[in-house]
Structures are given as structure tokens and as C-alpha cells.
Chain A
Amino acid sequence: MEAVRFDNVKFSYRDDGSGFAVNGVSLSIEEGQFVAILGRNGSGKSTLAKLINALIVPTSGTVSVFGMDTADDKKTFEIRKSAGMVFQNPDNQTVASIVEDDVAFGPENIGVPREEIGKRIDFALDAVGMQEFRHSTPAKLSGGQKQRIAIAGVLALMPKIMILDESTAMLDPKGRREVMAVIKKLNREQGITVILITHFMDEALQADRAIVMHRGEVVMDGAPEEIFSRSDELEMYNLTLPRAAYICKKLQAAGMPVANAFTAEELAEAICASLQKG
């Protein structure tokens, strides 16, 4: 089933409708896909995300989520229930003074029965590895821990689509790995469609599909490995290669026969194979 569909979508933040932040985007995301969205700051990635869960509606064109038009006011509630969003800054997403209350806020709002809320809090806190902080105060947690609570808050809504707008930017490496593991697990085991906006190329490599935005337009769309093989194009859009891919390209350019590599593991494998062959 098609989870998200954009038909020639344009969006402008200005009243006069000039200067499109998203400029003529058409795309389709299937249910269960794990899509990474890349692009420089200001390329329109966050605008694209906000269009999906009806935080903003297109200036022209249509966005639909599971067939529901986001411009239809009557569907807004249903759309937001199916497409949960986690933002960049956890401080702006905390509402309660106790962690479990914060996670409960979403389900309470949509009228989930009391016992079910308890189960969902358990599930969500386990999923982000924050069960032991259940009775803590979010204000006293570190940035990374707060962000995991924000993710738990969305998980508790059991959304079909999860949109993460640079949600790992403030986490430490361990926190990032944990959250990425959670996201992948939710995607694989529960079939949640994941839309991950990120500046971390290694995170994009874990997706099924990568979309590159540039000046409000989709300029590249394909498997991450395929996108990262087109390094000249990436450079045009001011994106950098994952470091392993950069090293690999450098070795190839100097005449060393190494297979394409995108991660440290693949690079080690490729170097080893090449050195042994001599």
C-alpha cells in the first residue's frame, strides 16, 4: 500500500507565495519502506516532513497519507495519528514533569484506555532503553536521554509512519546506535514506515532508499549505495561521502584495485582482498 504520495507539491512560507521551500516534488513512499532524506540545511527536507503530517499544507499540489488528503481539515486528526513526528530539539517536545507522564501524553490525548496506556509506556520505554528513568524528571536528563523520551512519546501512539527530523543529531554515538537500532527494529518487525531526515551518511546507508533534496527539489532518489556511488553529483549538492566511501574512492583513483565500499567493514574487506591478491 502507498503510505505517502506527493503530486507536484509546492510550498512557500511567504504570504505572497514566492520563494518555494519545496518546489514541485512528486514522490511515492510504500508502506514499510525505510527512507532517508538527505540535503543541506535549507534544502527543504524539514518542510517536506511537515507536509506529510499536515503541520503545513501545500501551496499547490497535493500530499496524501494512506489516501487521505492532508489539505482536508476533517482528516488532519487521522493523519497525525498515523504519521508521528520526532523533531530536532527534545526540549521543545517535553510536556510533563515525569517521564512516564510525558510518554502518556500522546495516547491520553487520543483517548487510549488506561490499562492500554500502561502497556504502551512499557513498550515505548523499553524500545528506547529508558525504562529505568520512568519516574525521573525529563528536565534532569541529558539531551540524548530526553530525545529518547521524545521518540518513546511518538512510539506510544503506535503510528504507521514515523518521521524523524534529525532526531539523532544531539545524541552521543551510543545513543545514536541505540536509536538507529530501535528505528530499524520498528521498521522490520512492526512494518512501520520510517522517514529519516539526517546529516549522518552512515545512517542513510541503513535505509532502503535515499532521497537527496536540493533547493526544494528531489534531485536524487535510489538505493543508498547507488546514490553514494555518484560522488560527483553529491558534491554538486554540497553533500559529502561517508568517510569509508571517500577513502575507497581515493584508493581507486590512485590505481589500487579495491571493490566499492561504504562502511568501515566493507572497506576493511576490500583492502584485505586487494592486498592479498597483490
Chain B
Amino acid sequence: MEQKTKVQAEARKQDLLITREFDLPVELLFRAHVEPELIAQWMSNPHATAKILKFEAKKHGSYQLESTDAQGNVVFRSNGVIHEFSPNKKIIRTFELENAPFGVQLEVYEFESLTASTSKLKMHVIYESVVLRDQLLALPFAQGINMAHNRMQEILNNLNH
């Protein structure tokens, strides 16, 4: 499938910009971000199932997500607070991985209608520091190599032979 998602992360900055155009009316793009059962569907992948524990889609509302592996173990939980909620236009929220040393990030989602059937999402993510941003950027890199620790151990054990 064509890769349409762009990530701009300049060196020595503590933010990044994710942009993507969708073959979807902006209303549907927005719903995918605010309806728990829809969020759970697209956030899940073969290795991890996303579960929305709480999602108050309104200003001053809060949310909590959980991700479990194939065995049902909780891989991580995250939560945040919604600061701005403008349907089909904008969401500003915080995001925090629980029990992880990555701090709190500020996420600004801008939804834009391009045509009646296409739309664009701009996600501006601001981290507490340059180092924290880079560490979080490195995470999927790490996960791509070995999703779970036991898998990592398995690989390392094989290396020793």
C-alpha cells in the first residue's frame, strides 16, 4: 500500500509533525478519533489489542487506553486530558504513557476538509524535551526489532552460539 503518512522531526527540536491525507470526508476522520470502538479498531494490530478504558469526548474530558498482547498481558496504559474539542476541526490533548519515563506530551490535532470525500490530518506533538522526543521516536525502532522482552532474550541467546 502506498505510504502517505509524513513525519517531520527536525534535529534538536522537541516537537514533530505528522501529516496524512485520507480518502474520507472530514466527519468520518474525526469520528475515528473520538468514538472509542473505532479508536480501538484502528489502534490495534496483530501484536497488540487496544482497549479504551475511558474516553470523554469533550473539553476538560479525560481518556485512558490500554494495550494488551496476544496472551492478554497489559503492555502499556496511557492517559490524557482533552483541552480543546472542536468537532471536525481540532482536538488539543495531553498524552502520557503510564509508568514510563517519557513525561507528558501535548498533541494538537487539526482536521481539515479537502473535498467532500477527502480530508487531511495534522498532528503536532510537543514533548517535554529534545531527549524525550528522540527516545520516543526510537521506541518503534526498538519494537520493530523485538516486540517483547522474551523475544529479545531469545534473539540474544541465539547470538551467543
Say whether A and B bind each other.
no
Q: What is B's interface to A at a CB cutoff of 8 Å?
A: none
Q: What is A's interface to B at a CB cutoff of 8 Å?
A: none
